[in-house]
Amino acid sequence: MQISNDRYFDDRRRHDLALRMIRHEARTCTIRLCTGLTDDRIRRLYQTYASHVPAAPTRRHRGKSPRQIAFYMRNAQMQFEASLLAALFVVFGLLDGSPQTEHDRLRYGVLFCDAYETHAQLLPASPMSFEHAWFLLQLLMRQGAFDALRCRQCDGAFLQDRTTVLRRACPSCKLKDARSVRRRSGSRRRGSRDVHEEIRLPPPPAAADRLGA
C-alpha cells in the first residue's frame, strides 16, 4: 500500500505525542482524545515503551480521571501552583478556544505537554499530575469553577474558587507571610537560647580556690 508523505508524518506525530503523554502517565482516554489513536494502538504503545525503557517504569492509571475541584484549592501552595499553571495555559494559547479538527487536537495536545513540562521545570516537586493539569484546563475552558482575581497586596493574578465568598490575599502573598512568620519565630527561638547562654552561671570554684591556696 502506498502511503503519502502527509499521512505518514501525521501518523508519526500522533505516535510521538502519544509516547510523550505516556511518559507523563496520562490515561488512555486523554491520549485518545488528543491523538485520535484507538485504545488498542495506545495499549501497544504502552507495551512497546515499557519494553524499550525498563529503567524508567511508567504506571498506567486506570479508572476515572481526577474530578475534584477542591484539589486545587486545598491549601495556599496548591492554589499557587494551579494559578501558575493557568497562567502558562494563557501563554501557550490553550484558552483561546477548543480544537475542532483532528489536526487542531494534535497541536493542542503538543502545546498542553509544553505547558505542563514548563510547570514541572519551575516546580520540580509539585504534586500536580498530568491528569490533574488536564482537568484544570477543562475547568478553565468551561469558565464555571474558578474566577481570575487580582490581589490587593501585590496586584498579581490568581485563581479563586467561585464558592468562596470572602476575597483574601493571593496564595503567593500567603506563602510569603507564612515564611516570614516562620523566620521570625526561628529568630525568637535562637534569641532565647542566646539569652539563656548569657545568664548561665559560672562553674563553681575549685577546691584549692575555696581554701585560699
Q: What is the mean pLDDT of the chain?
A: 82
List the one residue out of 155, 183, 163, 174 whose CA is nearest residue 80: 174
Burial 154-172 (b: 16+ CB within 10 A, else e): eeeebbbeeeeeeeebbbb
Whole-number Å distance between alpha carbons of 160 and 73: 8
Sole residue written with cell 511518559 = 23
Cell of 5: 508523505
- Do 34 and 17 meet the contact criterion of CB atoms below 8 Å apart? yes
Amino acid 213: pLDDT: 43
Task: Report if residue 146 sits inside a domain.
Answer: no
- Asked, for residue 90, whether it belongs to a domain, the answer is no
Q: Residue 83 falls within a domain, yes or no?
A: no
Give the per-residue pLDDT at 124: 93
Asked if the structure places residue 98 within a domain, the reply is no
**What global pTM score does this model have?**
0.78
Q: Is residue 58 part of a domain?
A: yes
Q: Round to whole Å and give the CA distance between 59 and 1.
A: 36
Domain membership of residue 54 as a residue range:
10-62
Domain count, the chain: 1
Q: Does a structural domain hold residue 113? A: no
Is residue 136 in some structural domain?
Answer: no
d(CA 158, CA 17) in angstroms, rounded, equals 30
- Residue 131: φ, ψ to 5°: -70, -35
What pLDDT does 158 receive?
92
Residue spans of the chain under pLDDT 50: 1-2, 195-199, 201, 207-208, 210-213
* pLDDT of amino acid 128: 95
Residue 91 lies in a domain: no
pLDDT of residue 184: 79
Burial of 28 (0-12, 13-18, 19+ CB in 10 A): buried
Q: For 126-151, how does the pLDDT look when each residue is reduced to its tens digit (9 = 90+)?
A: 999 999 999 999 999 988 889 888 88
For residues 23 and 89, the answer to whether their CB atoms sit within 8 Å is no
